[in-house]
Amino acid sequence: MAGAHRILLVDDEESVTFLLQTEFEEHPEFAVDTAKDGVEAMNLVRGHVYDLAVLDISMPRIDGLEVLRFIKENSPATQVIMLTARADVKNAIEATRNGAYDFLSKPYEFAEVLAVVRRAIEHRHLLIEKEVSPTGRPLDLVGEAASFRSTISKAKRVAESDAYVLIYGESGTGKELFAQLIHRESPRKNEPFVAVNCAAMPDQLLESELFGHEKGAFTSAVRTKEGLVEMANGGTLFLDEVGDISPLVQPKLLRFLETGEFRRVGGTATRKVNLRIISATNKNLDVEVNEGRFRDDLKFRLNVVSLQLPPLRERMEDIPLLVDHFTQRKTRTKSFTPAALSRLQDHTWPGNVRELEHVVEGTIALTPKDVIDVEDLWVNTALEPNQHVSADRGIKIGEGMLSLEDLEKKHIERALIANDWNRAKTAKMLGITAKTLYLKIKKYSLKQA
């Protein structure tokens, strides 16, 4: 079942696990496995990803406390609830010290177990979202252009299925926002949304981030680490800039997409998860395939349904709405004049909505006036006067017209100067990674004066 919480019940009394399993399975939100002792439980944990385990403490061969320690070493995000026939304070303290979420004594009422289980699963989700991708804020999907609204409608339709989605769009068009929209409109909306930028990591680190690693797998692997596919179990994994994944990692990703199975780096146990994949790229994957940089079979696996996000230059009528939205988010006392809005609409926006957002925020921060006019626009000189736009907002090609690359070079150079060539601040201001900024500086041979 998509999005079902996977629970492991461990008790040497088969009647206990049978009754608990029967009661849990009356609630469709749960999928339950059982084990009759600690050895069987540890074997199941090696091969599956569980949201939660309910462990009896007193069991033959391996007791519940040892199984708890094993789970916390091998699957740290799995929440554990301990059951015992005796209200043993010493065991309760030991279980809590070793990472148990809670401790219940037999005999129990199932309503009490159910309440604790639901709290523990919610706690797991909060921990995961805090670590990888907070998604609680409203989505900044602002615009009324027909192409933009059509893309939103298509995203909401595909959200109802479990089909993999590949989002195409230039940098700054809001690919992750659309991925979050699909997740929030899907049956998996109450499960984790986990995002990873594939372009920001070298090969070994990306594989470790995706699939996790075992303690000792490499020099800095001082402890076992769950991968993002495990954290996203039941929910959605968003692979941003998937076109930048190296040929070394692509086969492992393809195998995972085909089977739902993976091995942690340095591990031998095969694990399985149930999640949805949404990916995004600003590259033309057909070109990448033809030039041998991207696997054809991986592209087809990812691209069950595709979304093409329109660049900002193709929906210039949305600029006043976007400017107002970004302004209201920062202050309710400032506004832009019609002339300033017109100048913003005359720009080609190679960085798309992200670039517009930074210009608006920079202008608000640097302008003391409440009414912002043309001369107040931040990096106003980047809005070159020879960038003329026709009445239908299609870009004219005229003599002296700057290319998009020239505009990007100028914009990056001015941002670097504004930040005294602090690359970390500049990358944050431009909404790109430090690695992307480094490559742009190298591409355009930019040097500090």
**Token couple for 388:** 């003329």
Greatest CA separation for the chain = 86
pLDDT in tens, 394-438: 333 333 445 667 778 888 887 788 777 888 778 877 778 777 888
Please, what CATH class does the domain formed by 146-310 belong to? alpha beta
Task: Assign 331 a pLDDT band (cuts: 50, 70, 90).
Answer: confident
Maximum average pLDDT range among 211-225, 287-301, 321-335, 409-423: 287-301
414 φ/ψ sector (left φ>0, alpha ψ -120 to 50, else beta): alpha
3-state secondary structure of 278: strand
What percentage of the chain reaches a pLDDT higher than 70?
A: 89
CATH architecture of 5-124: 3-Layer(aba) Sandwich (3.40)
Beta-ladder partners of 9: 34, 54
**Token couple for 276:** 């949805």
**pLDDT at res. 398:** 38
pLDDT in tens, 28-73: 889 899 999 999 999 998 888 888 999 988 888 888 899 998 988 8
**pLDDT at res. 109:** 85
Bridge-based pairing state of the strands 102-105 and 276-281: unpaired
**pLDDT at res. 393:** 34
**pLDDT at res. 245:** 92
Amino acid at 137: R
Which are the contacts of 185, defined by CB distance < 8 A and separation ≥ 6? 155, 156, 159, 160
Task: Assign 204 a pLDDT band (cuts: 50, 70, 90).
Answer: confident
Average pLDDT over residues 191-195: 90
Residue matched to tokens 């041979």: 445
Task: Assign 99 a pLDDT band (cuts: 50, 70, 90).
Answer: confident
Confirm if 358 and 326 have CB atoms less than 8 A apart: no
Above 50 in pLDDT, residue 153?
A: yes
**pLDDT at res. 289:** 95
Above 60 in pLDDT, residue 231?
A: yes
What fold characterizes domain 313-443? Helicase, Ruva Protein; domain 3 (1.10.8)
**pLDDT at res. 222:** 72
What percentage of the chain reaches a pLDDT higher than 90?
A: 42
Average pLDDT over residues 80-104: 78
- Cα separations in angstroms, 353 against 173, 303, 365, 435: 6, 25, 18, 21
Which are the contacts of 69, defined by CB distance < 8 A and separation ≥ 6? 98, 99
Burial of residue 417 (number of CB atoms within 10 Å: 0-12, 13-18, 19+): middle
**pLDDT at res. 168:** 96
pLDDT in tens, 372-395: 999 888 754 445 443 433 333 333
Amino acid at 293: R
3-state secondary structure of 189: coil
Task: Assign 292 a pLDDT band (cuts: 50, 70, 90).
Answer: very high
> Strand ranges (DSSP E) for 93-235?
102-105, 165-168, 193-197
**pLDDT at res. 386:** 34
Average pLDDT over residues 189-218: 85
**pLDDT at res. 88:** 63
User: By C-alpha distance, which of 195, 322, 214 is closest to 262?
Assistant: 214
**pLDDT at res. 2:** 59
Q: Can you tell me the distance from the alpha carbon of 178 to that of 280, in angstroms, rounded to the nearest whole number?
A: 10
Above 70 in pLDDT, residue 87?
A: no
Average per-residue pLDDT in the chain? 84
146-310 and 313-443, same CATH topology = no
Residue matched to tokens 């769009």: 169
Task: Assign 146 a pLDDT band (cuts: 50, 70, 90).
Answer: very high
**pLDDT at res. 392:** 35
Above 70 in pLDDT, residue 130?
A: no
Average pLDDT over residues 349-361: 89
pLDDT in tens, 243-281: 999 899 999 999 999 999 999 999 888 999 999 999 999
Which element (helix H / strand E) includes 106?
none
Is the peptide bond between 107 and the residue preceding it cis, with omega within 30 degrees of 0?
Answer: yes
User: By C-alpha distance, which of 51, 285, 281 is closest to 179?
Assistant: 281
Above 80 in pLDDT, residue 137?
A: no
Average pLDDT over residues 220-242: 88
User: By C-alpha distance, which of 441, 432, 444 is closest to 282?
Assistant: 432
Average pLDDT over residues 300-326: 94
Bridge-based pairing state of the strands 271-272 and 261-262: antiparallel
Confirm if 403 and 331 have CB atoms less than 8 A apart: no
**pLDDT at res. 387:** 40
Q: Can you tell me the distance from the alpha carbon of 322 to that of 341, in angstroms, rounded to the nearest whole number?
A: 10
Q: Taking the CB of residue 400, how many other CB atoms lie within 10 A of it?
A: 9
Ranges of each domain in the chain: 5-124, 146-310, 313-443
Average pLDDT over residues 76-91: 77
Q: Can you tell me the distance from the alpha carbon of 205 to that of 155, in angstroms, rounded to the nearest whole number?
A: 31
Residue matched to tokens 């329109």: 310
